[in-house]
Structure 1
Amino acid sequence: MQKIIKLFATAWLAWSAISPAAAQEALEVTDIRYQGTVGQVVWIELAEHLGNLAPLKAKWVGNTISGPQDVQAVVTNDIDIGGAFNGALVKLIVKKAPVKAVIGYYGVDDNTWTGYYVKNDSPIKTARDLLGKKVAMNTLGAHHDFMVREYLERNKVTDEEAKQVTFVITPPVSGEQALRQGQVEVSTLGGILRDKALERGGIRPLFTDRDLFGNFTAGSYVLRNKFIEQNPKASKHLVGAIAKAIEWARVTPPAQVRSTFEGIIKARGRAESADAIQFWKSTGIPSVGGVVLDKDLQVWIDWLVKEDIIKAGQVKPSDLYTNALNPYANGAKVATK
């Protein structure tokens, strides 16, 4: 009898050792492929560091500076999860990209936003002053492209006149240098890169995305439709882990978040600087747990209709996203902190 009890106890301890994996039931996949960002921490990396992602493992396959490229890599099955500006997602999904938005991953709040900067002594004061000038941004057809075009339109610059403004693709980490060296007249600077540049002085914002739209979730992570269908448990676990990481970063003192990010960057050993992390202030995501709201997508649907890029009634927000995988979806609300 004692031998049976001992065997039972041994088996129970072995089962306990693999929990919570056992409690979560067997997930359909083990690795989640993703692209990172130089000198920064993306949410899946934080989720893994916090222990939320296990038993899944984050598999880094390289870095990206472009949301549309990141989503395209999801479409072609080179990675499993990627994110882009919501306006770009609307265009891609309308064109039958087989993906679904599952959680917001960046945005604009009181502390985190993007400015479009000029030198202090620049003659550029208004939207019309941009004619004939160059504006640096990370990619075309995404967040910064939309914002500059919206700024021009709101200030009565015609579509024909707007063609005189040149958009120059520039990696975010090089945007400040391009502006200071005169390679462009305007540079897009956001978050920690913006604050680092402001600390050095000599630049001022022409306008900001928060000036235009207030606080909003600007971009969402997507999964392939087939990935969700074939891996429902893993999909839900993945999105839940990222949602919990976002909330951890929201409620944890910023100094602790920065210290955690610095540790993650150092530990991953990619020969990169973590200096910019000291300027991190907030998640920039207004909704709790990154829950996607209709308005996050409707504003860009309306914009694309206005620009004759898509037709009125061609798509509605619910066609583009699902909150079914997000544990914070019930009672979704805008965060107060």
Structure 2
Amino acid sequence: MRRVRASWAVIAVVAAVTATSGCGAAGRAAGGSEVTELRYQGSVGQVTPPELAQDLGYLGNVRLSWIGNTISGPQDIQAATTGDTDFGGAFNGAIVKLAAAKAPVKAVVGYYGSDKLTNMGFYVLDGSPVTSARALIGKKIGVNTLGAHAEAVIKTYLARNGLNDAEIKQVELVVVPPVNAEQSLRQGQIDVAALSQTLRDKALARGGIHTLFTDVDLLGEFTAGSYVVRTDFLKKNPTTVRTFVTGVGKAIEWARTQPREVVQARFADIIRKRGRNEDTNLVTYWKSWGVAGTGGAIAERDFTTWIEWLNAAGELKGKQITAKDVFTNEFNDAARDGAAR
């Protein structure tokens, strides 16, 4: 789920132009009826919660329409903001930035996070002199992109371990495609690599590296990313949104409660049936989606953590924004009163 992510500047530009965007799914509904086809972007070799929900029959008469694969979380929510798709998902910090830029979107259900099974870790070579936060001063950390999940976690880690702003600026973040991160670490091009999911498991199996820290070590289990929809789409299609969000929530709970091999087999079957010429190997490494809230329910801390970080970093430029400005559990009947687990 944690793909290459776009910069904050691009998000701000997209948000600025959304007021003039006239496209979107709402225009496809005839005679005031609600849209029942939702355009979205997928991920190569992976199954998303909405795709599982559709396969399980949880979306009722709502049908997903795949338009391609996304290259990043911010790109995905940008597409939803401009109306090129009907929903998109990204790191919650990216959603905060988008909302602060007055983009007309609302987060409606969580879809990925970090738990004891699935998380983002920061890894060093065995024998590395980097053994603490302070040892990172002057060192290079490979991340999938700037301004997203990895950067937020790293800078929170540094600040909580006593580094001041000047010292934090001396820790260099280097953009490295996730598939190249392990190799870059082993070749000494970077001192620390951010790794997660399949790439992390494969790297650990090869040996010679160990964990410096993980996001779960730092923050506990948390929902890290959510799906957003445009606010005008919400108003025009409330029943469709409720069906979609509740279906996604039910799919998250199905995956949480089934044996892992059952979920993996279902994913492989979905990938084969959709006929996109994909390898099913990745699903054998799936452990969980890491979503903290029951049925994808969003908790205030899922956003306040990043609002506080962005404020401290000066990214919000004094703009006042609260978690309740960004998300709603109103459409999630699977959330059991919206309470986080």
How much has 1:133 moved relative to structure 2? 2.8
Distance 2:189 2:67 in 1: 31
Greater Cα shift, 160-169 or 281-290: 160-169
The aligned residue for residue 243 of structure 1 is 249
Give the superposition deviation at 1:312: 7.2
- Identify the range of structure 1 (242-251 vs 58-67) with the bigger mean alpha-carbon deviation: 58-67
Q: Flag the 1:41–1:218 CA change in 2: closer, same or farther, 3 A.
A: same
1:277 aligns with 2:283: yes
1:289 counterpart = 2:295: yes
Alpha-carbon distance change, 167 to 320 in structure 1, aligned in 2, over 3 angstroms: same
Query: Which structure 2 residue ranges, 5 or more long, are not aligned?
Result: 1-31
SS of 2:261's partner is helix
Q: Which residue is 1:39 aligned to?
A: 45
CA shift, 1:27, in A, is 6.5
| Correspondence for 1:15 | none
Aligned-partner residue type, residue 84 of structure 1: A
Change in Cα spacing, 1:176 to 1:33, as seen in structure 2 (3 Å) is: farther
Conserved 8 A contact 1:36-1:60:
yes
Matched AA of 1:114:
M
Mapped pair 1:53 → 2:71? no
Q: What corresponds to 2:213 in structure 1?
A: 207
Residue 39 of structure 2 contacts residue 67 of structure 2 at CA under 8 Å; is this kept in 1? Answer: yes
Structure showing greater radius of gyration is: 1
Between Structure 1 and Structure 2, how many residues are aligned? 310
Alpha-carbon deviation of 1:66?
2.1
- In structure 2, what is the equivalent of residue 138 of structure 1? 144
Conservation of the 8 A alpha-carbon contact between 2:267 and 2:283: yes
CA 1:171–1:60: 2 relative to 1, 3 Å: farther
Contact 2:106 2:228 in 1 (8 A): yes
- Displacement of 1:274 in angstroms is 2.4
RMSD: 2.1
1:227-264 per-residue CA deviation (whole Å, 9 max, x = no partner) reads: 11121111111111111111110111111001111222
Q: Share of identical aligned residues, percent?
A: 51
- 1:333 corresponding residue in structure 2: 339
CA drift of 1:46 comes to 0.9
How big is each residue's C-alpha offset from its partner over 1:202-221, in whole Å with a ceiling of 9 and x where there is no partner?
Answer: 21111110111011111111
Task: Select 1:72's aligned residue among 50, 74, 78.
Answer: 78
- Does the CA contact (< 8 Å) of 1:297 and 1:317 recur in 2? yes
CA distance in 2, matches of 1:155, 1:125: 12
Worse overlay, 197-206 or 326-335? 326-335
Q: Which amino acid in the other structure matches residue 326 of structure 1?
A: N
Equivalent position of 2:105 in the other structure: 99
* 3-state SS of paired residue (1:135): strand
- Residues 306-335 of structure 1 show CA distances to partners (whole Å, capped at 9, x for unaligned) of 223337781222111111110123433344
Unaligned runs of 5+ in 1: 1-25
* Contact kept? 1:103, 1:243, Cα under 8 Å: yes
User: How far 1:291 sits from its partner (Å)?
Assistant: 0.6
After TM superposition, the score normalised by the length of structure 2 is 0.84
Question: Are 1:196 and 1:279, in contact at CA under 8 Å, matched by a contact in 2?
Answer: no
SS in 2 for 1:40: coil
Q: Quick one: distance in 2 between partners of 1:327 and 1:89?
A: 22
Match of 2:239 among 227, 233, 253: 233
Query: How far apart, CA to CA, are the structure 2 residues paired with 1:316 and 1:109?
Result: 25
Query: CA separation of 1:186/1:225 partners in 2, compared to 1, >3 Å: closer, same or farther?
Result: same
What's the CA shift for 1:180? 3.1
CA 1:273/1:159 → structure 2, altered by over 3 Å: closer, same or farther?
farther
Could you tell which deviates more after superposition, 249-258 or 310-319? 310-319
Shift of residue 193 of structure 1? 2.8
Give distance in 2, aligned partners of 1:234 and 1:304: 33
SS at match of 1:177: helix
From 260, 265, 271, the equivalent of 1:259 is: 265
